[in-house]
Each structure stands twice: as C-alpha cells, then as structure tokens.
Structure 1
Amino acid sequence: MRTDVLHAVRLARLDLTLIGRNTTVLVNVLLLPLLMAWFLTESVGDVEIAGVDGRLFVLTGMPGLIPGFAVFVNLVNSFTARREELVLKRLRGGQPSAAAVLGGSALGALALYLGQVALVAVWAGRSGGLVPANVPLLLLAAVLGVVLFCLLAAAFSGITPNAELAQVTVLPVLLVMLLGAPIAFPADTLPGVLGTVSHLLPATPLVEIMRTAFLGGDHVSGDGAALSMAGQWLTALPSFAVLLIWIAVAGVLARWLFRWEPRRG
C-alpha cells in the first residue's frame, strides 16, 4: 500500500511537470475554462439570479464545469497517448499497481483542479468580497468530482483510437456539459424534460454543491435561501447521491472499456 502511494505521488508530480512544459495542454485545461468563466460572467451582467449577483452566481458554478477540462480532456489525451506509446503497458508491467498508475493521474488532476478552484475563490473574493462559506463541503465535492471525471476519462480513452482523435471523442461530453449544466441558471428553471436531463448530468451535482459551498445558500433546489453549516450539508445530500451514482456507473465503464495496450484493427 505504502509503495503504491509513493508511486502515485511520483506519477502525479511527473504529470504536473509535463503539463507545465506543454503549452497546448496548459491552454486547454487551465486557461480555456478561466476564459470561459470571464466570458460568462461578463455576459450575465448585473442581473440577479436566485437572489445572487449574476456574476457571482456564474463564477461560483464554474468549479463544477472546470473538471471537464482539467480532468476529463486532460486525462483522455494522456491515457490515450500513453497507451499508444506503450507507456501504460510498461508501467503496469513494472512495480506500480494499476491503482497506483490511475491514482497518480487522478492525484495530479486533483492538484491542478484545486489550483483552479483557488483562483476562482480569489477572483470571487476580489470582485464580490466573497469568502467560501463551507470549505470542507467544497473540498469533498472537488475530490469526488475528480474521481468521477478521472473514471470517465479512463472509459473514454478506451474507445479513442489514438491521441489525434481524442479531441473528437471528448467533444460531445463537453458540449452537453456546456449546454445543460446550470452555470448561468438554476436547473429548476428549465422546463419539463430539459430540467430533468440537466439534473441528471454528471456536472450538475458538482455545480450545485460548489455553489452551495461558496455562497452558503440552498442552490440545489434553486431558491438560494441562506443555510446554516449543517443545513448546507443536508441540502447537498441529493446532489451527492447523484454524484455517487455517476461514480459507480463511470467505474463500471472504466473497468469495461479502459485499455492498457494499443488498440488493434
């Protein structure tokens, strides 16, 4: 166990070093979601959404969308490229266990993601004087979000023929998240089937929990009413349930689809 943890930490450090040396990856996984956050906050202007300034509403929901880039896109590219270059096969044949190899990638993605969440928190503090109301709730949601999107990345890498096609593979997931996740609107405001679909997206529970943790109000049901610390945890329980269901589904898909060796044919 201790050896696996050490290997996971080493692999995470290697991943972060490689990301820092790759300008394209830096733009896609770090700068692009922050630019999107800026664009969306400027788009909503001074309107009030669910009792909150529109810019802060969007900004506090962005940490639920960022894993689509910092974790999902990043790791689909990484897993696919390493598989085709036989790196995954060599790693699995060496000392690290499968859990250590995947865990190292997840740990590196978590560090990158937490850095982005910290930037959003600083941004929210400077623009609206906002301090996260419930940091433990925020951190738990961040860890579970990284687990979910790491497993989804492992599954999608298995159906991606090569690294060149990775951008095509991830595009449908990103489009659904961008269009359906409640970044600039409460999910309950969508009519009928659209509202149901939005609630069931993997990014939605993460958006709702993050926004509740930042603002200290009920942003799961959508009314934004102020809550106590205990009330925030209770309100987030349905979103945690959806998140855990998605993690279970993603785990099954990853176990079924993930490949350690290059695809044949």
Structure 2
Amino acid sequence: MTTAPNAPSTALRAPSAAGRVLSIALMELRIIFRNKTVLTGAVLMPVAMAVYMFFIGADQMAGPTGMAIMAGLTLMIVTLLGVYLTATTTLATRRQELFLKRLRSGESSDTVIWLGMLAPIVVLVAAQLAIIAVGFGIAGVDAPTRPLVVLGAVLGFLALCATAGMLTSIYTPSAAAAQITTLPFFAVVVGSFFWTGFDDGLEVISRLTPGGALQNLLMAGWGAEPLDVSVAVAAVVLVAWVLLPYRIAARRFRWEKR
C-alpha cells in the first residue's frame, strides 16, 4: 500500500512573527525616506536641534551635573521629535489611509504590526543618538562614568516615546493634529525633567515622573549622584512609564479612521 507524501506544513510555509515585523518595518522605512516632511521631522530636525543645543549650552554645562543636563536636553529633543512625534504622526496617518486596517486583516498580530511600524523609527533615532554621542566625544564632552546606566536611560526613554506615541495617536485624527495632541506629553516630560532639579521638598514625588526618572538616571550615569537605591527606583519608574501607555493603547487602539 502506497502512502501519499506528507503535505508541507502550513507553519513552515508561513512567515514567522519576526519575518512579518521585518517586512512591515522595511516597508515603513521606505515610506519614511520617501516622505520629505516625515524625513525632516525624524532625521534632520532632531540632529539640527541637538547641534544647536550643544553650541549654545556647551560653555555653561561644565562638570558632571552640567554634562548630565546637556545630555538629557539633547536626548529629549531628539527622541521627542524623532520617536514620539513621528510615531504619533505615522500611526495617525496610516490609520486615515486604512493601511493599519489592511495589515490587521492579514495574519499579523497586533503586536507584530506595532513593532513593525515603530521599530524603524526607534532604530533610526537610536542611530542618530549614537552619531551625536560620537560627535560630543570628539568635541571634548566628558564621557559618563557609568555608561551602562546612561545606556539604560536612553533605551528606556526611546521605548517610552514609542509607547506614548501609540497612545497619543488614538486621539490624533490627522497628521496635522499631531502638532497639538503631542504638546501635553512634551510639557510633562520637559517640565518634570527640570522640576527634579529644584530643592522644593517634593523630590520624592518629582522623581516618580518620566522626566524626573530620566534625570535621576543621567545624573547617576555622569557621577553627579551616587549609585544608590534611588537609581534602582528611577529605573523601575521609567519601565512603569513605558508599560502604562502601552497597556492603555493596547486596549483602546483604533485601527480605522473615525
């Protein structure tokens, strides 16, 4: 008795989750480089702002505290513009174009789609930050005494801006509206970053904010503050701020226009 050859497994033919993420990411990356407006906002503007910040503040930002503040300002400018604003604009635009709806009608899970849409933005900005860091080093800016702490702060803030962009895009009906809907998060992050530096008796509360946690980590990274339990608390706070907008966005995310 002859037996029919086994049919190839569907699982073997279907692309993996990682393959789908990569496919969506490459597609989104091509769109970014074709769109002059997005390209300017995601690449040219953050770098220009960082260079401007360096030449304006380099003389005043001396010592570990000054270096940590200058690094924080540069990180916030580049990442808020490059990741947060771009992620908000991109997701809102793709929703209006029904691109997200078409992606979801396929085999990709929600998480795969989000990773594919946001990964190229995050990687692009991470590359910018690396280039800026090299430029600062060539210009004579002191390197952090605890680079792993600084690296953790950078990665955490990149993730925070990505998940915050997911959440903000829910309330952003168009790309133009992103100029308004992103302002509250800009204000909260930048304001809390500076608030933590004031000795007003509310340091414990201020360090529970996203900007406060970021400043605490950067200060410790440059040796302006000791590596104590407050640094571990700041790391936990930053991770919590990454997860909070993601959890809310995962429940309320809109896949098609209103």
Residue 191 (structure 1) aligned to one of 181, 190, 200: 200
1:130 is matched with: 142
Give runs of aligned pairs for residues 1-265 of structure 1, distance below 5 A: 3-44=16-57, 46-47=59-60, 51-52=63-64, 54=66, 56-61=67-72, 62-128=74-140, 130-182=142-194, 187-189=196-198, 191-192=200-201, 198-210=206-218, 212-213=220-221, 215=222, 217=223, 224-225=224-225, 231=227, 236-263=231-258
Counterpart in 2 of 1:220?
none
In structure 2, the CA distance between the partners of 1:173 and 1:26, relative to structure 1 (3 Å rule), is: same
Change (3 A) 1:37 1:129: closer
Deviation at 1:19, TM superposition (A): 1.9
Q: How many Å separate the matches in 2 of 1:126 and 1:10?
A: 36
SS at match of 2:207: helix
Offset at residue 17 of structure 1 (A): 2.4
Q: Give, in whole Å, the separation in 1 of the partners of 2:25 and 2:147.
A: 24
Q: Deviations over 1:196-227 (max 9, x none)?
A: 665343233234434544x3x1xxxxxx15x6
Q: Is the 8 A contact 1:77 1:157 kept in 2?
A: yes
| Root-mean-square deviation over aligned CA pairs | 2.9
Structure 1 stretch displaced more, 81-90 or 114-123: 114-123
Displacement of 1:53:
7.3
Compute the displacement of 1:260 (Å).
0.8
TM-score (norm 1): 0.78
| Contact 1:37-1:58 at 8 Å conserved across structures | no
Secondary structure in structure 2 of the residue aligned to 1:164: coil
The Cα shift of 1:255 comes to: 2.2
Taking structure 2 as the reference length, what is the TM-score of the superposition? 0.80
Unaligned runs of 5+ in 1: 218-223
Deviations 1:15-38 (A, max 9, x none): 222222222223223333333333
The whole-number CA distance in structure 1 between the counterparts of 2:26 and 2:215 is 28
Q: Which has the larger radius of gyration?
A: 2
Partners of 1:237 and 1:148 in 2: how far apart? 17
Q: Deviations over 1:1-53 (max 9, x none)?
A: 9711111122222222222222222322333333333343344453356x437
For 2:209, the aligned partner's letter is L
Unpaired stretches in structure 2, ≥5 consecutive residues: 1-10
Contact 1:65 1:203 in 2 (8 A): no
DSSP 3-state at the match of 1:189: coil
For these two proteins, the number of residue pairs brought into alignment is 244
- The percent identity for this pair of structures is 27
Amino acid at match of 1:206: L
1-structure distance, mates of 2:39, 2:28: 12
Distance in 1 between residues matched to 2:38 and 2:173, nearest whole Å: 20
Taking structure 1 as reference, are residues 208 and 120 closer, same or farther at Cα in structure 2, changes over 3 Å only? farther
